[in-house]
Amino acid sequence: MKSLTALFIAALGMALAHAGEKEVRQAVQALAPEAKVIGVNRTPLPELYEVVVDGPRGMAVVYASGKGDFVLVGELLDVKNRRNLTGERMERLNAVDFDSLPLNQAIKMVQGNGKRRLAVFSDPDCPYCRKLEPELAKLNDVTIYIFPYPLPMHPDAGRKSKLVWCSKDRLQAWQDMMLRNRLPEGGRSDCDHPVDKNLALGQRLRIDGTPALIFGDGRRVPGYAEAERIEQMLTSVQGARRR
């Protein structure tokens, strides 16, 4: 099966001859019936349309000229204002409503006054998840919700996640495992745990790798990040709420 990108590059220009907004939408939908056209919007460039689609691999943004003689699959940059317009758009499209997260399915860690919020999807056997833990410990005034999220590539991660969840002190058990490579002694894994629910949640959110960070304003950061970068994003969320 051809990818969405290949379909756009191969056929979109020919199909969009003399197209306008309505024609752009119809042509893209016809070329990629497995995807849903979310929106067609004008860009700061005359006669260039932004086309947002939701396909099997998630959201994508491509650009098409009004006459259909040019197609762009890539990033649109605003040089004067030093902005990545495509990146900003993708951030908004992939944003998560933090208040909709089932926080009762996460291990709660409060540091300082805990006013700021951060969710982390983490796999016990993911090396970068373990590398992230010391960075999280450096943060101040934040409540971190850790969603145990064992990936299929790590066959023992599910058992470890359940052992931690079934522990009397989940946070301590999680930190012992991630920071000191110690599993709960004599622990059980047959309690009422949310591991399967977390996997289903991650699939809905299209989280296909760990660690995955979600900030209070819904922005995502896939993969490992140092404490300095996480702190900058937490601060930017707080600053935006004050404005």
If we measure between CA atoms, which residue out of 126, 144, 149 comes closest to residue 223? Answer: 126
- Nearest of 99, 94, 79, 118 to residue 38 by alpha carbon: 94
What is the rounded distance in angstroms from the CA atom of residue 144 to the CA atom of residue 141? Answer: 10
Q: Write the CB contacts of 132 (distance below 8 Å, at least 6 apart in sequence).
A: 120, 122, 211, 224, 225
Span 222-243, average pLDDT: 84
- Judge: domain 4-93, CATH 3.40.640.10: no
Which tokens sit at 170?
């989940």
pLDDT category at 14 given cuts 50, 70, 90 is: very low
Answer whether residue 75 shows pLDDT above 80. Answer: yes
- Token reading at 135: 């960075």
In the chain, what's the furthest Cα-to-Cα distance? 70
75 or 194: which leads in pLDDT? 194
Question: How do the residues of the chain divide into helix, strand and coil, expressed in percent and rounded to 5?
Answer: 40, 25, 40
* pLDDT tens profile 140-156: 999 999 999 999 999 99
- Distance between CA atoms of residues 107 and 148, nearest Å: 8
Q: What is the pTM of this model?
A: 0.76
What is the average pLDDT across 155-161? 96
215 contacts 198 by C-beta, under 8 angstroms = no
The alpha carbon of residue 2 and the mean position of all alpha carbons in its chain are separated, in whole angstroms, by: 24
Question: 78 - beta bridge partners?
Answer: 83
CA separation for the pair 24, 170 (Å, rounded): 52
Where do the domains of the chain lie? 4-93, 98-242
At 71, give phi and psi (nearest 5°): -130, 135
* CATH number belonging to the domain at 98-242, selected among 3.40.50.720, 3.40.50.2000, 3.20.20.140, 3.40.30.10: 3.40.30.10
Cα 72 to Cα 119: distance, rounded to the nearest angstrom: 34
**What residue type is assigned to position 213 of the chain?**
L
pLDDT for 242 equals: 53
Q: Are 106 and 95 in contact (CB under 8 A)?
A: no
Take residue 228 and report the two structure tokens written for it: 């300095």
